[in-house]
Each structure stands twice: as structure tokens, then as C-alpha cells.
């Protein structure tokens, strides 16, 4: 028979493991906080040029793996870099599968986004390496969707800006109608 203090210790250990695994599950699969570094999403994220001030963003992890239909054009997503599985990129989804995109800097050409892929771009095109350099990326690389900034506190709950109009003009939804012409 275990004595009372031993029983208590056992309960504490089991409780801690249970709490930790629920926590890890939620952070991995439901909702989490992420720090954004770099300038590629200015002015939606990190609007301040000061490198010491970084936004912390509330992210929705249920879109992990790109399986859900909840990902839309214009969503700000974090994805695993195609060139380094341990690096996370923060980009905006500009086009979804089967859309046609006119790449930046090549106005006379267009790219058809293949099945299961998406076209991602940073808002600050001059400080961003994105689909304009490495092409469409698999939706399965997406790890999360940004919901709202939570830090700095002044911007808590701020709405993230939608897809800029000039970018919409470069996207042909399903390869036919231009995104900026379609009714909202």
C-alpha cells in the first residue's frame, strides 16, 4: 500500500503530465501566439521600422496542413519555408489552386497555380522572398493563419488589412474573372 504523501506525489505527477499534454496539443493544433520578425508584411504586421519592436500575433492552427476550406485569398498565413523545414515564413495568400497570377516584374506572363498549391506574397514586395522568386508552394506547408495582433497592446484586436486592390488586379480567379472585378 502506498502512503498518503506518495499517493499525493503520484497524483501531482500525473496531473502535470496531463496538463502539459493538453497544453502542447492546443498550442500545436488549435490556437497559439507567434512572434513576427522581419519587414516583409509591413504595414499589416510590424508597422514600426524599429527592429526592437516586434508584433506578437494570435494564430489559428486548425488550418495546419492546408486541409480546410477556411483558407481564403487575402489570409495572412505562416508556412514552413520550402528551403528550410525549421524556418517559418509569414506571407499573404494571394491565389488559391487553379487561379492565374501575373507575377511581379513580369507583366506579360502569367502562372497557373497548380492543384494543392497556393501563391504567397509579402506585402512589402521589396523586402520579401516569396512566390515571385520560388513559385507556387504546396498548401500542406501552411502551419497557421494570423487572426489579430496581441502585442503591442495598443494594436490588440486590430483587423488585419485585406488583400490590396493592386494585387487583386493581378489575380484571375479560376483563371477567368479578374479578382478586383468580381462583386464582393
Partner 1 sequence: MAFGRLVSGAARLTWSTVRVAALVAVPTACFLHTVFDYVGEITPSMGPSMLPTLNLIGDLLLIERLPGWRRRLRVGDLVVYTSPADPGRRAVKRVLGEAGDALCVDPTKDRLAYVQVPRGHVWLQGDNYSNSTDSRTHGPIPLALLRGRVLACLWPTPRLLPNNVEIVPGRFAGPTDD
Q: Write out the catalytic residue numbers.
A: 40, 91
**Least Cβ distance, residue 16 to partner 1 (angstroms):** 11
Grid look-up 504546396 returns 138
For 154-182, b/e burial (b = at least 16 CB within 10 A) is eeeeeebeebeeebbebbbbeeeeebeee
* DSSP-assigned letter for residue 53: -
Residues of the shown chain interacting with partner 1 in the complex, contacts defined by CB under 8 A? 17-19, 21-22, 24-25, 28-29, 65-67, 80-85, 114-117, 137-141
Residue with Cβ nearer partner 1 (67 or 177):
67
CB 7 within 8 A of CB 40: no
- 8 vs 169 by CB, closer to partner 1: 8
User: Residue 30 or 158: which CB sits closer to partner 1?
Assistant: 30
Distance in angstroms (rounded) separating the CA atoms of residues 73 and 96: 7
Q: State in angstroms the smallest separation of the CB of 139 from partner 1.
A: 5
Q: How far is the CB of 98 from partner 1 (least distance, A)?
A: 12
- C-alpha span between 146 and 91 (Å, rounded): 10
Amino acid at each position: 500500500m502506498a502512503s498518503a504523501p506518495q499517493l499525493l506525489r503520484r497524483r501531482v505527477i500525473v496531473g502535470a503530465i496531463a496538463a502539459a499534454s493538453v497544453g502542447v496539443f492546443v498550442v500545436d493544433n488549435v490556437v497559439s501566439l507567434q512572434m513576427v520578425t522581419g519587414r516583409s508584411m509591413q504595414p499589416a504586421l510590424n508597422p514600426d521600422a524599429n527592429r526592437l519592436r516586434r508584433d506578437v500575433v494570435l494564430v489559428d492552427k486548425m488550418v495546419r496542413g492546408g486541409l480546410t476550406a477556411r483558407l481564403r485569398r487575402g489570409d495572412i498565413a505562416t508556412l514552413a519555408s520550402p528551403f528550410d523545414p525549421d524556418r517559418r515564413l509569414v506571407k499573404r495568400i494571394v491565389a488559391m489552386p487553379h487561379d492565374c497570377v501575373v507575377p511581379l516584374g513580369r507583366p506579360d506572363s502569367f502562372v497557373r497555380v497548380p492543384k494543392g498549391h497556393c501563391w504567397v506574397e509579402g506585402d512589402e514586395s521589396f523586402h520579401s522572398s516569396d512566390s515571385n522568386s520560388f513559385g507556387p508552394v504546396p498548401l500542406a506547408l501552411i502551419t497557421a493563419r494570423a487572426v489579430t495582433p496581441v502585442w503591442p497592446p495598443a494594436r490588440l484586436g486590430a483587423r488585419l488589412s485585406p488583400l490590396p486592390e493592386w494585387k487583386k488586379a493581378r489575380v484571375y480567379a479560376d483563371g477567368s474573372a479578374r479578382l478586383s472585378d468580381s462583386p464582393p
